[in-house]
Amino acid sequence: LAKMLACGLETLKDTDEDQRRRTGVRRFFVVQGFQDVIDALTNVTVAEPTEFRSFDCTTMYTKFDQGELIGAVQHLVRRAAELVSKRRRLKLYEMGFRVPVGSDKARLDSVSDTKYDRDEKMLTFKLNDALSLVQTVTRNIYLKNGELLTHQVQGIPMGTNASPTLANLRMMEFEDKYVGGLSQSGAKEFRLTYRLIDDILFINNPGIETHLPLMYNSASVELTESSRDDRSSVNFIGLTISTNDGQFIFKPYDKRIDFSFPVTMYPHYESNINHHIPWGVVWGQLHRINQICSQVKDFLNWSYLLFSRALARGYPVKKLRLLCGRFAQRNQREDVGGAQLAGWLRGKLTQAARSARKRN
């Protein structure tokens, strides 16, 4: 079910992206992670001063009305099937899902029956059977605590594979209905709106105070604002986003830095683990930081923090220096040459090592 719902969601999202290119109007705000936000905002010029408003949906999983959720999800999945059937000139009753066993994605296709093909290792679901499965999964959640068996009749469980996509599709229906009912100029106020399940970001939407209670007009959706006081930047799904001369600037955000106590991170170098793992951790984090940071100064500052954490876990300085050179050679940035970047990274490592020696 999780794979089928994800397939339906992606179909709707792709169709919405085509519409955005033609009209400038977006009706689906879903993103899968920080990279989607970076890709969408890079090379976008925005009016300044830029206002960032972010909100958390604090009751998403626990308060959804199951009947409303089932109806919304079935409606959107059926719409996705209609889009594919028209594109491929098929009848809607011919449509269904092909779900491979394993990690591959499901796809909407012509399906003759609901069955499991052992030779192809493929599950196929007729569309109506897939829609029925939404109700079966949502309505049949039970929790056992000792001898007490409880039937969940409100909300959806956070632990099932399908729950995040069920929640995403329910929120998508709110957004689709509301934005679809606005004038084109009103709908364009949402062109820089992004949502990762229960985290929502609005950029330069002057009517947001009016829009929110009308768009998410359900007792099951309670929003708490998480914007910064000056609204000139925002922390959103692992990013800090701001603007400079109308261009968006990105750098990582790690809420653990704000904690009042130290947080132990990364495996200790002397742990009973494969010796490749510690270096994979540092390499992966360097790549993530480099991928996010718009400016080289932010990349270097976050690299310093990474090196400090690695040294605190016993990582040898000599091997970190070698890694700096290899990383700079294989991951070129447009704003600095590879050799210069390697030198700067080694400089940050030297600073981190000096600070570590002073602390010790």
Most confident range (mean pLDDT) of 100-104, 266-270, 344-348 is 344-348
pLDDT at 360 over 80: no
pLDDT given at position 188: 93
Kindly report, residue by residue over 157-182, the tens digit of the pLDDT.
Answer: 877 899 999 999 999 999 999 999 99
Give the whole-number percent of the chain exceeding pLDDT 90: 81
pLDDT given at position 140: 92
pLDDT given at position 60: 80
pLDDT at 249 over 90: yes
pLDDT given at position 332: 83
- What value does the mean pLDDT take over residues 296-319? 95
pLDDT at 218 over 80: no
pLDDT given at position 58: 86
- What value does the mean pLDDT take over residues 249-272? 91
Kindly report, residue by residue over 96-117, the tens digit of the pLDDT.
Answer: 999 998 888 999 999 989 999 8
- What value does the mean pLDDT take over residues 10-25? 92
Grade residue 119 by pLDDT with cuts at 50, 70 and 90: confident
pLDDT at 219 over 80: no
pLDDT at 246 over 90: yes
pTM of the entire predicted model: 0.90
pLDDT given at position 353: 96
pLDDT at 53 over 90: yes
pLDDT given at position 120: 85
Three-state secondary structure readout of the chain: CHHHHHHHHHHHHHHHHHHHHHHCCCCCCECCCHHHHHHHHCCCECCCCCCEEEEEECCHHHHCCHHHHHHHHHHHHHHHHHHHHHHCCCCHHHEEEEEECCCCCCEEEECCCCEEECCCCEEEEEHHHHHHHHHHHHHCCEEEECCEEEECCCCCCCCCCCHHHHHHHHHHHHHHHHHHCCCHHHHHHHCCEEEECCEEEEECCCCHHHHHHHHCCCCCCCEEECCCCCCCCEEECCEEEEEECCEEEEEECCHHHHCCCCCCCCCCCCCCCCCHHHHHHHHHHHHHHHHHCCCHHHHHHHHHHHHHHHHHCCCCHHHHHHHHHHHHHHCCECCECHHHHHHHHHHHHHHHHHHHHHHC
pLDDT at 288 over 80: yes
pLDDT at 141 over 80: yes
Give the whole-number percent of the chain exceeding pLDDT 70: 100
pLDDT given at position 334: 87
- What value does the mean pLDDT take over residues 126-144? 93
Grade residue 9 by pLDDT with cuts at 50, 70 and 90: very high
